[in-house]
Structure 1
Amino acid sequence: MNKTAEILRNSVPEIMNTWKREVINEVPAAQEAGTMALFDHLPNIITDIADLLDRHSNLSDIKEDENYKEIIVNSKHHGRHRASSESYTVEQVVQEYIIFHRTLSEFINERDAYDQQISDLVKYVIETSILESVGTFSKSIQEMQEKLIGTLAHDIRNPLAAARLSLQMIQEDKDGSWTERALNAATRSVNHALDLIEGLMNGITVKAGEGLLLSFEETDLKHNIDLVFNESKDLYTHDLVLKCEAKAIHGVFDSTAVRRMIDNLIGNAIKYGDSNQEVTLTIQDDDDSVQISVHNHGNPIPEDQQEKIFDFMNTSIEDQDTPAKSWGMGLTLVQIVADAHGGDIKLTSSVDHGTTFEVTLLKHVNKPGKRRAKLIYDAHEIVDEHIQ
């Protein structure tokens, strides 16, 4: 089978380009993907199949082969990637592999390098890939739902806690001097909680590549920043400071999502910061964008964890009791909101300067209305050297 292996090994670009044409024609979701994202780890599977053909003449002894194990890993990665790519379904993931199998078989057969043993091995590998990829795809969709719903459920606690605190103040207000202010605060917090509950229900219907359902409208973001800041001051005992020269910040935003984003950043800054030093919320209003940064003193986020906490689909820290895991739940939301507003998020963290998360939001990148935010997927490492 060395002839077939050599043909595959030397023809990865040609095979993948043939597969690409067929997939774009037959799989709707593939039409929106760039070449890099579309190929994912499939080129690696071709070279792994070639290595298997070099070493094995039957199926009974390939399961312990390292290349076969690598195929399983790549197939799982492919399923996880497709779960983060917009509009994919289980059926379309399976269809991609069916086309992949057909492309490989026809390519080998046209070069008179196909026999029953090769057919059996390729079929076995592709069927295994389908099972692993589809299983991971489904698991990843469930994981997305759990994370998005989990962040929503967590965020509901703060406005409800603030509302309860306001009601307690009313009960203890003997002369009525605090009643009106506390009642207004309780009303705002309950309304905020109701908005979050609506988001919780929308999170149940997440599909591949989808994040939260966001509602964009023309609004004064400064008003919402003041609301979440004052609510945080009522809720926490830490020293909170707001630095903002702007009297109003007009643009098209999802106010509820931005409030949740700031609330998460403040909550994490308080949780992991030095309780004896202030947490600072700084707002910089520019012509087309607004920068929102939250800074705290205290132990920094370790450098080797700083990139991981931005990866929505990262599972390497799931079972670790580390700051990155706890920060990551809130940053799932923060990154989705930043991206949905055409912006980004930056992190600086050191012993000398503390930790700062800076989020940039564009004011007019969206039109008023509702739409699903896209999930963030870091695909920079998926390009195979054969395709460059």
Structure 2
Amino acid sequence: MYAASKILKLHSAEIMQNWEAQVKKEIPASNISSNKALRNRLPEVLNDIAEMFSEYNELLEIEKHEKYGKIIKSSFDHGRNRAISTHYTLKQILKEYVIFHKVLTETLENNNVYSKEVGITLKYTLETAMLTSASSFSDSLQEMREKLIGTLAHDIRNPISTAYFVLDVINASDDKARLENLKKIGLRSLKKSLDLVDGLLDAISVKAGEGITLNFSEIDLVKEINWVYQEATEIFNNKVTFDCNCEEVIGVFDPTAIRRVVENLVTNAVKYSARNSVITMKMECIDDEVTIKVHNIGKPIDKDSQSQIFEFLNRGVRSNSTDLEGWGMGLTLVKSVAMAHGGNVDLESSEENGTTFCISLKTNFNKPGKVRTELNFSEN
């Protein structure tokens, strides 16, 4: 099998080019990705197959081979990556491996190194890799749905709890001003809950690479952020400040989504801040871009976690970092919403300066209407 190994190594670039050409022709979703993202872990799989061919000759020993284990791990990561690649389906994942098997077989046959032993080994390895990748893809989609639903359900619970509290403290003897204020808070919280219910139902039907559905309309963004600020001052014990350099920002945004992401950042800022420290909200307007910053003083987010904290499923396996556990799916949605508005989200965190999350948004990046967000953030 050494001859087969030599041919695979010699023609590796040609193999990947042929595979890529056929995949783009037969799998529509593949045309959205860059070449690097499309190939993903398959060049590593190809290299490990070639190495495996050169180092063993007994099929019974295949599962004990180090390279076989790496192939299965790469296939697991490949399936997980496809779960955050827009429009991929289970059928398309399987088709990728069928084409890969076909291209490898043709290359070996054309160079007269294909044998029964090579064929059996290749078939067994790639079929197992295919099953692993398909299973990883399906499990990752289910994990995304559960995370999205869990995050949305958590967000709905807070305003419902507020409304319940308001109803519970209302007393017939309360003066008119107090009753009007409690009524205002209760109605606002119930309206917020209703706005989030559609998103909860929508999350059940999430497909590969998809996040929540946004509903864009022309609004004054300053009013929405001020709304978050006012509520934060009522809910949290920490002092919250808000500084804005513009009286109004008229643009096309999803007001519910924007409020949610800023609430998410403020809640996390309070959660991870030093006791009695100030939470600072700041909004700046420059031309057609708006930036919203949330800052707190407290334990910083370590450098390794900063590079992963907005990503979900992109790293193949879940991070073991305790710094990431508390953030969950929330920051993935923050980035998803920012990108859907033509912007991004950045993080700066240090012992000296505290932690600042900065969201940038374009005022007229979208037209009014509904759009499903994407979770495909990186090209791994």
TM-score tier after normalising by the smaller chain length: over 0.9
Please name the residue that 2:136 is paired with. 136
Structure 2 residue 115 is matched with structure 1 residue 78:
no
Q: Which moved more, 1:24-33 or 1:78-87?
A: 24-33
Alignment of 1:325 onto 2:325? yes
Q: Is the 8 A contact 1:300 1:349 kept in 2?
A: yes
1:315/1:192 CA distance change after superposition, 3 Å = farther
| 1:170 shift after superposition | 3.3
Deviation at 1:276, TM superposition (A): 1.1
Distance in 2 separating the partners of 1:199 and 1:46: 41
Deviation, 1:318, is 5.5
> C-alpha separation between the residues in 2 aligned to 1:13 and 1:221?
50
Contact 2:77–2:316, Cα closer than 8 Å, also in 1: no
Tell me which residue corresponds to 2:146. 146
| 2:241 match | 241
* TM-aligned CA deviation for residue 174 of structure 1: 2.2
Asked if structure 2 preserves the Cα contact closer than 8 Å seen for 1:311 and 1:376, the reply is no
SS in 1 for 2:327: helix
1:94 alignment partner in structure 2: 94
Partner residue of 2:185? 185
Displacement of 1:126 after TM fit?
0.8
Query: 1:41 matched to which residue of 2?
Result: 41
Partners of 1:343 and 1:305 lie apart in 2 by 22
Return the letter of the residue paired with 1:59.
L
SS across alignment from 1:349: strand
CA 1:357–1:288 in structure 2 vs 1: closer, same or farther (change >3 Å)? same
The alpha-carbon deviation at position 181 of structure 1 amounts to: 2.0
1:154-211 deviation digits (Å, cap 9, x = unpaired): 1112222332343345338622221112211211111011111110000000000111
Alignment of 1:20-31 (within 5 A): 20-31=20-31
Q: Which residue of 1 aligns with 2:304?
A: 304
SS of structure 1 residue aligned to 2:211: strand
Worse overlay, 206-215 or 219-228: 219-228
Task: Report SS of the residue matched to 1:348.
Answer: strand
Q: Secondary structure at the match of 2:61?
A: coil
In 2, are the aligned partners of 1:219 and 1:250 still within 8 Å (CA)? yes
2:329 is paired with a residue whose SS is: helix
Aligned to 2:220: 220
Counterpart-to-counterpart distance in 2, 1:172 and 1:281: 37
Q: CA deviation at 1:351?
A: 1.4
Contact 2:76–2:316 (Cα < 8 Å) also in 1: no
**Counterparts of 2:267 and 2:72, CA distance in 1:** 40
Is 1:289 the equivalent of 2:281? Answer: no
Could you tell me how far 1:92 is from its partner in structure 2?
A: 0.6
Letter in 2 for 1:186: G
Q: Distance in 2 between matches of 1:301 and 1:22?
A: 44
After alignment, is 130-139 or 5-14 more displaced?
5-14
Structure 1 residue 330 displacement after superposition: 1.9
Q: Distance in 1 between matches of 2:329 and 2:25?
A: 38
**1:162-173 residue pairs with structure 2 within 5 A?**
162-171=162-171
Whole-Å separation in 1 of the counterparts to 2:287 and 2:173 = 45
Partner of 1:267: 267
Mapping of 1:332-371 within 5 angstroms?
Answer: 332-371=332-371
Structure 1 residues 325 and 78, CA gap change in structure 2 (3 angstroms): same
- Return closer, same or farther for 1:262/1:173 CA change in 2, 3 Å cut-off: farther
| 1:132–1:144 distance in 2 versus 1, CA, 3 Å | same
CA change 1:38–1:289 in 2 (3 A) is: same
Deviation track 1:329-348 (CA, whole Å, cap 9, x = no partner) reads: 32121111111111111111
| Length, aligned pairs only | 379
AA at the equivalent of 2:281: L
- With over 3 angstroms needed to count, the CA separation of the structure-2 counterparts of 1:86 and 1:316, relative to structure 1, is closer
Residues 66-124 of structure 1 show CA distances to partners (whole Å, capped at 9, x for unaligned) of: 11000001101110111111111101100110011011101110111111011111111
CA pair 106-315 structure 1, distance change in 2 beyond 3 A: closer
What is the distance in 1 between the residues matched to 2:58 and 2:90? Answer: 30
Q: Report what 1:104 is aligned to.
A: 104
- Report the counterpart of residue 386 of structure 1 in structure 2: none
Q: Label 1:278 to 1:173 Cα distance change in 2 as closer, same or farther (>3 A).
A: farther
Tell me which residue corresponds to 1:60. 60
Q: Which amino acid aligns with 1:230?
A: Q
2:201 is aligned to 201
Distance in 2 (alpha carbons) for counterparts of 1:289 and 1:120? 58
CA distance in 2, matches of 1:105, 1:315: 28
Q: Is the 8 A contact 1:169 1:178 kept in 2?
A: no
Shift in CA distance, 173/52, structure 1 to aligned 2, threshold 3 Å? farther
1:109-155 CA distances to partner (integer Å, 9 max, x unpaired)? 01111110111111111101101000000000001111111111111
Aligned partner of 2:286: which letter?
Answer: D
Go from structure 1 to structure 2 and tell me whether the alpha carbon gap of 1:318 and 1:161 turns closer, same or farther (over 3 Å shift).
farther
- The TM-score normalised by the length of structure 1 is 0.94
Q: Is 152-161 or 166-175 further displaced after alignment? A: 166-175
**Runs (5+) with no aligned partner, structure 1:** 383-388
What SS is found at the alignment partner of 2:291? strand
- Cross-structure match for 1:385: none
Worse-matched range after superposition: 219-228 or 193-202: 219-228
Q: Which runs of 5+ in 2 are unaligned?
A: none
Q: Distance in 1 between matches of 2:61 and 2:334?
A: 48
TM-score by length of 2: 0.96
> Structure 1 segments of 4 or more deviating over 4 A?
314-320
In the alignment, the residues of structure 2 paired with residue 81 and residue 32 of structure 1 have an alpha-carbon distance, to the nearest angstrom, of 14
Question: Root-mean-square deviation (CA), in Å?
Answer: 1.6
| Structure 1 residues 169 and 287: alpha-carbon distance in aligned structure 2, compared to 1, 3 A threshold | farther
